[in-house]
Every structure is written in C-alpha cells, then in structure tokens.
Structure 1
Amino acid sequence: MTQHAQHELEARLKAYKQEKLAAGDWLNHDILMAKAEKLEYTDPALALRVFQRARVLNPDSKEAQQKIASLNRELKKSNPEVMRSSSKEADAPETVSDAMESAQEVSEPAQAQVPTFTERLVSWLKKPISICVLMPFLLFAFYQVIWASDRFESQAQLIVQQPNGMATLEPAMAMLSGFTGGSGSSDTSLVEAFIYSTDLVEYLQQELDIFAHYNSDEYDIFSRLSASASREDKLDYFKKRVVVEVDQNSKIITVRVQGYTPEFAKTLTETIVDRAEWYINKVGHDLAKAQLAFVQNEHAMVEERLQKAKSEILAFQRKYNLLDPEAEGMALQQIAYGLEAQIANKQAELRALRSSMSESAPMVMQLKEQLDSLRQQLIDERQRLTQDIELTDVSGEMGVNEILANFGNLRMDLEFAVEALASSQVSLEKSRIEAYRQLKYLVVVESPTLPEEAKYPSILYNLSLFLAVILMIFGIGSIIRATVNELQ
C-alpha cells in the first residue's frame, strides 16, 4: 500500500511539473515555495513534496522547514501511507528521479539553471509584504517627495485689550465701574469664531479671490481645492488652511495661514487681521451705542417730566396770583389769630366798662360795635381759609385749603422730577463709563510674517507615520490570516 501511494505521488508530481512548471522552475526556490503554498489546501501530499524540493535547493529556508513540519503533522493524521513514503524523501536530498532531472537541467545553459535578477525581483514583489507595504509606501513617498506642492505658512499673533479706565477716571469711580483693562476668554473665542465664519470667507473671496488660488491647476490634485466644491466644502478647506490657536494663559491668539506662495500667505494673513480688528471694534461700538442710546432716551423722558412739572407750578401761580400759597395761608392764619387776640382784649375791656357804666353809655356802645366788627372780620378770614371765595378778578373760586392741597401735589411732582433727574444723570454717567468699557481693541503682537521656506508637506514625519500605520495594519492582517489558517 505504501509503495502504491509512493508511485501515485510520483506520477502526480511528474504531471504537475510538466503542466504547471516552466523550464528552470524546478531549480528556483522562490517559485517552488509560491507554487507549494497554492497546493497546500488542495493537495497537501503534493505540496509537501514541492516544499521538500524547495528545502533541498535552500536548506537554510526556515519558511520551507516550517511548512514541511506543519504538513507532516497534518498528513500523519490524514494519510499515514503517503507520510511514510514522504518521510524517506525528507531524509534524502533528492529521489532518483529528481537527481536525473536535475542532472539533465544542469547540462542546459547556465541561464536556465540560475534565476535571473528580474525573476528574483518579480518573485519577491509577489510576496504579501511587498504588495501590502512596500508598494503603497513607495507610491506615498513619490507623492510626498516629487508630486506634492509646497505650502508656505504665514503667522500673526493678536490679543484683545480693553482701555484702562483707571487712567481716565477718578479712583473711586473707576473701582465702582469695575475696570480691569484686560481681555477675557469670551473675547478670544469671539475672534476665533469670526475667523472661522462664513462671513469672513465671503469677504476674503470678494477681496482676494482666495479660492482661485487654492484650486489652481498649478498645484497637485490632492492638496488643492476641487473646482466643483460647494460652499460647505470651501469652508472646510479654509479651516484646514487657516489655523487659530489661543493660549489660555496669556490670551494671545495665533493665526497661521497656509498658501502655495509666500506672498499670498502673507497677504491673506494681513487681510484676516485687518478684518478681525474691524469686527472687534464694530462689536464694541455697537454695544456701547445701544446701551447709551437707551439710557439717553430715559434721561430725556425724565427731563421732559421735570419741565412739565415746572410749567404746571408756574401756571398755577399765575392763575391764582400767588407766589407761595403756603406763605399766603400762613399769613391768613396769622391774621385770624390776631383778630381773635383783639376780640379777646375788647371783650375784657367791655366787661370792665360794664362794671362801671350802663349799657347805653357811649363808650360801651362804641366798644360793642368794635367787637362786632372784629368778630365779623374773623368770620370773613376763616371763610377765606375754608370756603370758596373770589380771590382776584381773573382767578376762579377756590378755597385756600384746596389751593394749598393742589399746590402741594404740584410741588411734590416737581420734587420727584428733580430727584429722578439726579438719578438719571448718575445712570447716564455710569452708562457712559460702561459704554467706554465695552470698547475693545485688537492689538497686533506679531505682524504677519513673510515665509522663506515651505513648511508643508512634512515629508519625514508623513513618511514615518505612514510606514508605522501600514506596518501595523499588515501585522494585524497577518495575525488574523495565520489564526484562520490554524483553525482550518
């Protein structure tokens, strides 16, 4: 049974060499390894025979030894007869038939026996590591070194500052207003958001036609902007070419702009800085104007209210011909008090006269008449204080008490208007100070630079990163493949 299996294997090997192998392939280690790997899953016994031949040609080949050991373990379980015939061949370098074929091939020209450099190169390029690692790396290196267009980077540094209120105001007012004279994180975020905004991109397109530079055919197709790019694609491309960095400690804003020429990179950086400065100034002035306009309108209303109160008091005084109704009322009260005192004196005198004279005495009669006149005058004065009488020919009829009440209301309105005006003036001054605080300035720390050397592409960094990534992917793929083969 073993002899029959050996003859059958030899027949299959002979037919395989005639049909699948070209002249000289039987002496080429790399070609035999590749052929055997294809037979490994379809005909393990024949693959083992071809691997043994490859090991004879290159005894130091660890790959051939590993393949032979693996197939030996597999054939011991599945086909022990073929394994016993093959094990004999593993001990000897060649079988008799192999030796005869080798002798015949040795007699041919040396060119047919020894693989040429081209054949070895082609065989090596067919290996997985060459296809999956070397070829992509060479293509990427060609792009980075020869094809990729140079990009120059211009840089500018900015900072947002507020005016120093301590230098222009009294110390108490400055501390009350809370001046700091610095810049906050919201200001730097505002500048960053504006630089990345669609409004700035459209402005730059109108002023410099930036996308005509970025999608020019003079530069490589992979780094330039597509001619059919949408507005969103243009904005994304702009964000890749313009980088804004903010130092959280110093609040310094660094703007880095890439261009295919040094002049364009510098011009674009200058335009971005100028427009950002205009935007910051505009925002500060708009906020200050809006806040100040509101307070000024309120102040104008308070002034109008004060003028109205003054006009009403003047009209009231002219109407009743009174400078000070309160003083007029006090005078009337003093007159009434005086009349009462006179009446009391007259009554005392009358009692004294009656004690010594009769009622018909002339002095008693005269004193009675004076007393009646004083009482009537007192009644008239009290009526002026409490009843409606005609004060002047041009005034209406109104009691002094009502005049005092109305005048008190008008004077109270005037006092309220004066106090409101004082408060409004304080608020107006505070609003002016606050409006001054709203003013911000974009200070250029470093002017836009003119680059002399291209910064991108970073050839060494890109090649190293690409090689590391592709080797990692190839290693993972090889591990997965070996695991699958082992499980089969």
Structure 2
Amino acid sequence: MSQQAVNTIEKRFSELHKKTSPEVWNNADELFKLSQQLEKTDIYLARRVMQRVRILQPDRPKIKMHLKRLSDEVALHAKQTQTSTSTEPSTKQSENKKNSEEKNNKLDNFFSKLNNNFSSKKWAQPWVLLLAVPFVLFAFYQLVWAAPRFESRAQLIIQQPDGMATMDPSMALLSGLGVGGNSTADTEIAKAYIHSEDMLNYLQTHNNLKEHYQNGGDVFSRLSSDASIEDLLKFYIDHTTVEIDEASGVIKILVQGFTPEFANTLTQAIVNRAEWYINSIGHQLADAQLQFIRLEHAKVEQRLRDAQKNTLAFQQKNNLLDPEAEGLALQQITYGLEGQIATKSAQLKGLRSTMTEKAPQVVMLASELSALKKQLELERDRLSTQQGTNNNIKNNGTSVSEVLAQFSDLKIELELALKGYTSSEVSLDKARIEAYRQLKYLVVVESATLPQDNKYPTTLYNILLFAALQLMLFGIGKIVLATVKELR
C-alpha cells in the first residue's frame, strides 16, 4: 500500500475521531460494533478502527481474530485494485469520488444516530443508577433538608465528705474514713439512672420531651407520631450520651435537641434530677443503718435502766445503802468482840491467880467478859441466822449472807448492763461516722452549656462515608457478576 493511501486512511480515521463522541471512542465494545458496520462500506477504515479496539483491549482473542481477518481482506482488495486501476477511465475516478462522498454522508448519519442512542441510554447505565442517583439524593438531604441538632454539655463528679478533717486521726482510721470507696460503681449507677425510664418519666412530666421530639427536626430525624414508651426511651437514649472518665471519675452528659434552648433546658433538668437521686440514695442507706443501730441501743439502754431499778428497789427493801459495806462492818465488829473477849479472858485468869472469886475486880471483869460473849453470839446470829433485829439493819428475816448473795447478783447484772451500754454507745458513734462516710454528693463541674452551632448532622463526614460505602458495595457487586459470568 502506497504512502498516499495510508495518509488517506489516516485522514478518514481522524475525521471519524472528530465525529465520534468521547464515550464511544473510548469504549471498545462500541468501536467493535462500528468496525463491523464500516466493514461493508470501507474495509480500510474498518481495519483501522479495529486496530484502535485492539489498543483498548489487547488481551481479547476475539479482537485479534477479527483484526487478522480484516488485514487479509485488505491485502486481497489491494491486489484487485492494482490490476483494475490501470484500465479504468477518468470518468471512473469522478464516479469513485462521488461514491466516497456518499459514503462519508452515510458515515455521518450513522455516527449521529450512534451518539444519540448512546446519549439516550447513558442514564440507564448501572453506575448511574447505583452510584450517582443515590449519592445526589443523599447529598441533597445532608446539605439542604436535614434538620440541625444542637448538643448541650454538662460535667459532674461524685464526691464524699472528708471526715479526716473533723475527727481524731486514730478514730478516723478505725472507722475507715480516708479509705477510697468504689467510685466506679457510683458513676455507673448515675449513668444507669440517667438512661432509665424513671428519668424519662420525670423529663416527660416537666419538659414534655415527647412533643419536642415529634414536632422538631425533619421527617427522617424526628420521632414518629405513634411512638410507644419503648420507642421514646430508645430515641431518648440515642440522643443522650453519658461518658465516664475512668481516671478522674468525671461524668460527661451530652444531650441533643432540635433547638439550643431546649438542649440546655433538658441538660439542666437531667443534672438536677441526677443530683437529687444520688443524694437521696446516700441518705436512705445512712438512715436505714442508723435506725437499726438506734433500736439495738434502745434495748441495751432499757436493760441498764431495769438493772438500776432492781438494785435501787433491793436497797430500799433491805434498808441498805451498801450491803457489802454493812456486812464488812458486822464482820469487823465480830472480830473486835472476839479480840476483846480474848483480852478479858487473859486478864481474868491473871486476877484469879492472885485473888478470890468474890474479889470486886474479879467479879467486874467476869461480868464484862460475859457481856462480851453474849454480844458476840448476837453479832454472829445477825451474820448467819434468819433472826431479825432492829438494832442496825432490818433484813426481814433474811440473813446477811443471803442479802449479800442477792446484792452480788444484782450488782453483776448492773455491771453487765453498763458494759453493754458503753459498747452500744461506741457502736452508735461508729455507725454515725460510717453513715457520714457513706454519704455521697453529686458535684457539678461544668453547668449545662447553651450551644450556638449545631453539631449534627456532620455533613461532610456523612457524605464521604456514604460515597465510600457505595463504591465498596458497587465494587463487590461487579466482582460477583464477573465471577458468575466467568463460571458460565
């Protein structure tokens, strides 16, 4: 083939490129169809287009086969043209020129139809239906339609009173003050109460939470009009976040609302109710513990009073201030009389050795000794017998030893009651300290804030995430379809 023929083919190929849309020109399947159409009218241009198809998809055996066939037909057609061109008259050349112009007109009509068909079908392509349309709709919702949500913030911490500052250090150590409690459990209790139905009922009563969630926002972000209490609780939990810092124990409450004022009001209501709850459960536990200790202390105190009354009644009954002292005094009197009798007996024996029985001194000393012996017998009877006397004590026919035994029992009972009362007083003081130690208070670190800018929806993040998910799912779908086609 001459260089002039090659240039002519390249010129027609360039004109074809200009008339063809970029979508068709870069699509191997569309160019393959175009080559088949051109094969009937212009075999040289058809082979050139097939070469373009091979460049776009070099690995397809079908394209190689068609390109080889077109090359063979071009070679055969070139031989026939060389044998006939020498005998053809000049009128034939003008006729060929006219035919060439008609071919070009036909090609123009063909490519215009092809471009129109491709343009009419491009919106029905899978990537348009599965990627572009959903992405545009979602972006429109995020940028234009989605209602803003404002977030108010508050920070709290649960603290215990410092008992070490008001107590003796040894007493505080004995009672356990200064030892840290389970703050993690307290913060988890506060979080559970904030997300509980009791808190929801309180907020519904004082802030009409359901009306705000149903009337605010857009159709996709608001609460449905026929929502149940369970749906309302789930919606409330989704829009109320409670974060706990494990290191410091700070509780952060993040509340969303469709208006900044409502978000601030709702956060303040949650803080006030949570503070009431934490303080109330601490006082309830302390009161219950103290109530039990007070009842036990009252029993011990009553026992002590009964022992005191019994002892006093016994003393009044026997006309004794201290029976033990009275008994000791009687014993001392008895021992003193025995000593005097022994002394008088020795003196009497000495006088009888030198004097007669009728001597005045002997008679007087014998009389004194006889009186001392009678008094000794009387004192011994007072200690051991049940004979009543009216000299020093009135025991109502009861011996002094029995009185002492009864008084000893009463005294032991009184001492035991007194010891029990003392222990009970210590236990009561410890219970008061322990109850004071267990009291917990919710301290506000940061009051409820009034937001100025909406935090939700996060438009850019949502759009990018949606696009990433779309591309991932579309790619997975393409891989599955390609696998199915390959298996067929």
Q: Normalised by the shorter chain, which TM-score bucket?
A: 0.7 to 0.9
Residue equivalent to 1:195: 194
Matched-pair contact (CA < 8 Å) for 1:387–1:399: yes
| 1:215 is the counterpart of 2:214 | yes
For 1:296, which of 294, 297, 314 is the aligned residue? 294
Matched residue SS, 1:224: coil
Amino acid aligned to 2:475: G
Residue equivalent to 2:337: 339
Distance (Å, rounded) in 2 between the aligned partners of 1:473 and 1:276: 45
TM superposition shift of 1:412: 1.9
Tell me the percent identity.
47
Residues 90 and 290 of structure 1: CA distance in aligned 2, closer, same or farther (over 3 Å): farther
Matched residue SS, 1:245: strand
TM superposition shift of 1:198: 1.0
TM superposition shift of 1:274: 0.9
Q: How does 1:144-155 map to 2 (within 5 A)?
A: 144-155=142-153
Residues 236 and 483 of structure 1: CA distance in aligned 2, closer, same or farther (over 3 Å): same
Amino acid aligned to 2:267: T
How many residues get paired?
A: 436
TM-score for the superposition, normalised by structure 1: 0.76
Distance (Å, rounded) in 2 between the aligned partners of 1:450 and 1:55: 74
| 1:256 is the counterpart of 2:237 | no
Distance (Å, rounded) in 2 between the aligned partners of 1:300 and 1:456: 62
Matched residue SS, 1:385: helix
Matched residue SS, 1:396: coil
Matched residue SS, 1:314: helix
Matched residue SS, 1:225: coil
TM superposition shift of 1:181: 9.6
Matched-pair contact (CA < 8 Å) for 1:106–1:113: no
TM superposition shift of 1:356: 4.7
Distance (Å, rounded) in 2 between the aligned partners of 1:467 and 1:55: 42
TM superposition shift of 1:155: 0.8
Residues 106 and 268 of structure 1: CA distance in aligned 2, closer, same or farther (over 3 Å): farther
Matched-pair contact (CA < 8 Å) for 2:142–2:457: yes
For 1:389, which of 362, 376, 387 is the aligned residue? 387
Q: How does 1:302-313 map to 2 (within 5 A)?
A: 302-313=300-311
TM-score for the superposition, normalised by structure 2: 0.76
Distance (Å, rounded) in 2 between the aligned partners of 1:476 and 1:140: 21
Residues 462 and 170 of structure 1: CA distance in aligned 2, closer, same or farther (over 3 Å): same
| 1:65 is the counterpart of 2:61 | no
Amino acid aligned to 2:467: L
Distance (Å, rounded) in 2 between the aligned partners of 1:351 and 1:476: 140
Q: Greater shift after overlay, 136-145 or 240-249? A: 136-145
TM superposition shift of 1:289: 1.6
Matched residue SS, 1:468: helix
Residues 170 and 478 of structure 1: CA distance in aligned 2, closer, same or farther (over 3 Å): same
Residues 29 and 277 of structure 1: CA distance in aligned 2, closer, same or farther (over 3 Å): same
TM superposition shift of 1:401: 1.5
Matched-pair contact (CA < 8 Å) for 1:309–1:417: yes
Matched-pair contact (CA < 8 Å) for 2:28–2:56: no
Amino acid aligned to 1:444: V
Residues 104-150 of structure 1 show CA distances to partners (whole Å, capped at 9, x for unaligned) of 89645956632587754553343333333333322322222222211
Residue equivalent to 1:328: 326
Residue equivalent to 2:81: none
Distance (Å, rounded) in 1 between the aligned partners of 2:206 and 2:254: 19
Matched-pair contact (CA < 8 Å) for 2:131–2:470: yes
TM superposition shift of 1:367: 5.6
Matched-pair contact (CA < 8 Å) for 2:150–2:456: yes
Q: How does 1:454-473 map to 2 (within 5 A)?
A: 454-473=454-473
Q: Greater shift after overlay, 176-185 or 443-452? A: 176-185
Distance (Å, rounded) in 1 between the aligned partners of 2:370 and 2:307: 45
Matched-pair contact (CA < 8 Å) for 1:28–1:114: no
Residue equivalent to 1:474: 474
Distance (Å, rounded) in 2 between the aligned partners of 1:54 and 1:227: 67
Residue equivalent to 1:88: 69
Matched residue SS, 2:254: strand
Residue equivalent to 1:399: 399
TM superposition shift of 1:373: 4.6
Q: Greater shift after overlay, 295-304 or 102-111? A: 102-111
Distance (Å, rounded) in 2 between the aligned partners of 1:324 and 1:330: 10
Q: How does 1:88-167 map to 2 (within 5 A)?
A: 88-89=69-70, 107=105, 113-114=111-112, 119-167=117-165
Amino acid aligned to 1:460: L
Residues 294 and 463 of structure 1: CA distance in aligned 2, closer, same or farther (over 3 Å): same
Matched-pair contact (CA < 8 Å) for 1:161–1:182: no
Matched-pair contact (CA < 8 Å) for 1:306–1:421: yes
Distance (Å, rounded) in 2 between the aligned partners of 1:247 and 1:400: 77
Amino acid aligned to 2:422: A
Residues 438-464 of structure 1 show CA distances to partners (whole Å, capped at 9, x for unaligned) of 332222221111111111110111111
Amino acid aligned to 2:454: A
Residues 427 and 453 of structure 1: CA distance in aligned 2, closer, same or farther (over 3 Å): same
Amino acid aligned to 1:185: T
Residues 395 and 125 of structure 1: CA distance in aligned 2, closer, same or farther (over 3 Å): farther
Distance (Å, rounded) in 2 between the aligned partners of 1:242 and 1:130: 39
TM superposition shift of 1:250: 1.8
Matched-pair contact (CA < 8 Å) for 2:315–2:321: yes
Distance (Å, rounded) in 2 between the aligned partners of 1:249 and 1:55: 76
Matched-pair contact (CA < 8 Å) for 1:179–1:437: yes
Residues 414-449 of structure 1 show CA distances to partners (whole Å, capped at 9, x for unaligned) of 222222222222222222222222332222221111
Distance (Å, rounded) in 1 between the aligned partners of 2:363 and 2:241: 116
TM superposition shift of 1:238: 1.0
Residue equivalent to 1:226: 224
Distance (Å, rounded) in 2 between the aligned partners of 1:122 and 1:384: 139
TM superposition shift of 1:192: 1.1
TM superposition shift of 1:276: 0.9
Residues 57 and 475 of structure 1: CA distance in aligned 2, closer, same or farther (over 3 Å): same
Residues 462 and 119 of structure 1: CA distance in aligned 2, closer, same or farther (over 3 Å): farther
TM superposition shift of 1:61: 5.5
Residues 325 and 316 of structure 1: CA distance in aligned 2, closer, same or farther (over 3 Å): same
Amino acid aligned to 2:197: T
Residues 133 and 62 of structure 1: CA distance in aligned 2, closer, same or farther (over 3 Å): farther
Residue equivalent to 2:453: 453
Residue equivalent to 2:15: none
Matched residue SS, 1:132: helix
Distance (Å, rounded) in 2 between the aligned partners of 1:334 and 1:115: 148
CA RMSD, Structure 1 to Structure 2 (Å): 4.1
For 2:242, which of 229, 241, 244 is the aligned residue? 244
Residues 389 and 72 of structure 1: CA distance in aligned 2, closer, same or farther (over 3 Å): farther
Amino acid aligned to 2:209: I
Q: Greater shift after overlay, 466-475 or 104-113? A: 104-113
Gaps of at least 5 residues in structure 2 are 1-19, 40-44, 78-99
Distance (Å, rounded) in 2 between the aligned partners of 1:389 and 1:257: 93
Residue equivalent to 2:82: none
Matched-pair contact (CA < 8 Å) for 2:26–2:56: no
Residue equivalent to 1:352: 350
| 1:206 is the counterpart of 2:210 | no
| 1:409 is the counterpart of 2:401 | no
Q: Greater shift after overlay, 319-328 or 220-229? A: 220-229
